[in-house]
């Protein structure tokens, strides 16, 4: 990759700036591709999960458990998309999906290991949050650095170890943004379908049924933003730890011939 062609300046950023940039990225950079992925890949999963509840009477707790379990896998294409668009603004959706499929086995393997760690961590009061913070960058390690599952976990743990306090705040914000999307979608959906169009509670109610189609749509709609924000936080961590911005400055001093030489 040529760091001089990055779409953003590689420099340390404040946490709030990371989230502002993530929102702008999803709107201006990801734009149509993110919307296409959301409509074709994310929202159909929300519909299927709601039908499991509405038709097969699956308990709401199981519906949300399935949603939370599936979500990390569905974040994968958005992580690759953000990583690709960082240096190649014209990255195609098909290329993104092809790259994701190429790393899918290692990614699922890493997520399974992470799930086991979370399961054991949940036995302790603060165990699960610690696991979420310590291995926050596992998707980037697998999908962008192309590491094997165990190496990806070790890599993510090393990065997190240098910025624990910041990652605690970032993880909390990820959860808050996800909840915001859930309740915002629920409120908007109920307003349009129940009060405006007078369709009644055909899509369920989060308050009464503990699950609704609107809430699930909101949950999955949060994935592009949270995945992009995590990628940008990863870029910030690499900038601080590996000196990406310093590397860019050195590359700017080199001649085109010298840049082409292997390091």
Q: Is residue 249 part of a domain?
A: no
| pLDDT confidence of residue 168 | 92
Q: Is residue 241 part of a domain?
A: no
Query: Whole-angstrom Cα distance, residue 149 to residue 154?
Result: 9
Dihedral (Cα; 22, 167, 73, 210), 10-degree rounding: -90
Q: Is residue 137 part of a domain?
A: yes
Q: Is residue 190 part of a domain?
A: yes
Residue 261 and residue 13 in contact, taking contact as beta carbons nearer than 8 Å? no
Residue 223 and residue 74 in contact, taking contact as beta carbons nearer than 8 Å? yes
Q: Is residue 5 part of a domain?
A: no
pTM score, whole prediction: 0.86
Distances (CA, A) of 56 to 26, 51, 60, 209: 35, 7, 11, 14
Out of 25-29, 72-76, 84-88, 213-217, which region has the weakest mean confidence (pLDDT)? 84-88
| pLDDT confidence of residue 2 | 47
pLDDT digits (tens, 9 = 90+) for 169-224: 999 999 999 999 999 999 999 999 888 887 777 899 999 999 999 999 999 999 99
Angle of helix 149-161 versus helix 127-134 axis, rounded to 10: 100
More confident residue, 120 or 83: 83
| pLDDT confidence of residue 115 | 87
Q: Is residue 254 part of a domain?
A: no
Query: In 19-81, which ranges are E strands?
Result: none
255 pLDDT tier (thresholds 50, 70, 90): very low
- Strand (E) or helix (H) holding 205: strand 204-205
Number of domains in the chain: 1
User: What secondary structure letter does DSSP report for 103?
Assistant: T
pLDDT digits (tens, 9 = 90+) for 33-77: 999 999 999 999 999 999 999 999 999 999 999 999 999 999 999
The whole domain housing 37 covers 14-84+100-235
Instruction: Write the DSSP string, 115-157.
Output: HHHHHHHTTSTTHHHHHHHHTTTHHHHHHTS---HHHHHHHHH
């Amino acid at each position: 990759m040529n760091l001089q062609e990055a779409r953003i300046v590689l420099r340390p950023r404040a946490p709030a700036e990371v989230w502002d940039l993530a929102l702008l990225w999803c709107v201006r950079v990801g734009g149509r591709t993110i919307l296409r992925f959301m409509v074709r890949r994310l929202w159909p999963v929300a519909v299927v999960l709601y039908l499991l509840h509405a038709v097969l009477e699956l308990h709401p707790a199981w519906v949300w458990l399935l949603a939370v379990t599936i979500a990390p896998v569905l974040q994968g294409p958005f992580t690759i998309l953000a990583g690709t668009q960082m240096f190649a603004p014209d990255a195609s959706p098909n290329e993104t999906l092809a790259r994701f499929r190429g790393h899918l086995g290692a990614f699922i393997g890493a997520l399974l290991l992470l799930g086991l760690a979370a399961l054991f961590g949940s036995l302790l009061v603060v165990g699960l949050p610690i696991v979420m913070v310590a291995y926050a960058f596992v998707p980037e390690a697998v999908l962008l650095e192309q590491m094997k599952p165990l190496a990806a976990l070790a890599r993510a743990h090393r990065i997190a170890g240098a910025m624990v306090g910041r990652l605690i705040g970032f993880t909390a914000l990820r959860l808050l943004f996800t909840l915001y999307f859930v309740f915002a979608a629920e409120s908007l959906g109920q307003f349009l379908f129940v009060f405006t169009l007078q369709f009644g509670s055909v899509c369920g109610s989060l308050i009464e049924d503990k699950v609704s189609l609107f809430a699930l749509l909101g949950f999955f709609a949060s994935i592009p933003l949270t995945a992009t924000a995590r990628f940008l936080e990863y870029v910030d961590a690499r900038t601080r730890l590996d000196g990406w911005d310093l590397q860019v400055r050195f590359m700017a001093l080199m001649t085109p011939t010298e840049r082409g030489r292997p390091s």
